Amino acid sequence: MTTALAPPSLSALVRPRGPLWTPTELHELVSTIGVRHGEELLAQVRFASPQRWWSRLALTEEVEVWLLSWLPGQRTEPHDHGGASGAFSVVLGSLSETYRYPGGDVRQRTHLLGSSLGFGAGRAHQVWNTSREKAATVHAYSPPLVPTREYASLWDIPASIPPLPPYRTLEELAREPVEP
């Protein structure tokens, strides 16, 4: 399933192909979407305040893909992805990220235009636009629509991210709330 924003050729990139996508495969997916479709998606991206704008580009039983916009100062709260692996690619501007794996140090990095990152199920992070320019990103998660958990700080993440929820069908996933 794709939205009206998604380029038609995106369906070939996210076709059903196996149980779950690895962080490396998700990284390759968002990188490919950014390179092949970044300009097309940027023509359709919207910027909203005070809440960030997003649109789901694709959903299968194995993966979901999102397009998100970030005005200067917009950010997420510290969160994990509920045991899902993920990836994102910067298609406009730059973003700052503070992240931590359970038991590890809190680290920070800046993701510049064209950069992308894949991460495993244990990563918790906070992402924000610290620049004075707009930003946009493409995100992918596997399994799809796993609820995120927010934390007061990254130091509050547990020693291990709890296990994935039971496998759900695409029909069940489609009935879930649609917020990345």
What pLDDT does residue 2 have? Answer: 37
What pLDDT does residue 11 have? Answer: 72
Structure tokens at 44: 């359709």
Can you identify the CATH homologous superfamily of domain 20-151?
Jelly Rolls (2.60.120.10)
What pLDDT does residue 164 have? Answer: 57
Mean pLDDT by 10 residues, the chain (180 residues): 56 74 96 93 93 92 94 96 94 97 94 96 94 97 88 90 61 63
The answer to whether the CB of 59 falls within 8 A of the CB of 23 is no
Residue 12 amino acid letter: A
The answer to whether the CB of 89 falls within 8 A of the CB of 121 is no
Scanning 10-153, the segments in alpha helix (DSSP H) are 10-13, 23-42
What pLDDT does residue 126 have? Answer: 97
Q: Across the strands, what pairs with 70?
A: 135
**Running DSSP on this structure, what letter comes out for residue 47?**
-
Domain ranges of the chain: 20-151
